[in-house]
């Protein structure tokens, strides 16, 4: 299930981009992946959505959820 509020960290010609699902333009372009992740985490927390981190090859390498888990872990 795709969430329009999910935030993606993707490679970009000028470094890395942070983009909301469904948007054609990047919310922010950064020099490093870590900068993009930090910015993306803030957005994902605000939207209570998922941060999806892609590698240089464009494939998903990590997902971080910030409050919108369909199946929260028992604890």
Confidence (pLDDT) at 1: 42
Rounded to whole angstroms, the Cα distance separating 8 from 14 reads 16
Residues paired with residue 29 on neighbouring β-strands, in sequence order: 17
Residue 68 binned pLDDT confidence (cut-offs 50, 70, 90): low
CB 10 within 8 A of CB 23: no
**Tens-place pLDDT, residues 28-66:** 999 999 999 999 999 999 999 999 999 999 999 999 999
């Amino acid at each position: 299930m795709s969430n329009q509020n999910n935030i993606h960290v993707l490679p970009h010609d000028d470094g890395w981009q942070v983009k909301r699902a469904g948007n054609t333009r990047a919310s922010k372009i950064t020099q490093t992946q870590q900068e993009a992740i930090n910015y993306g985490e803030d957005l994902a927390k605000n939207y209570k959505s998922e941060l999806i981190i892609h590698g240089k090859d464009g494939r998903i390498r990590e997902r971080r959820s910030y409050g919108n888990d369909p199946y929260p872990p028992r604890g």
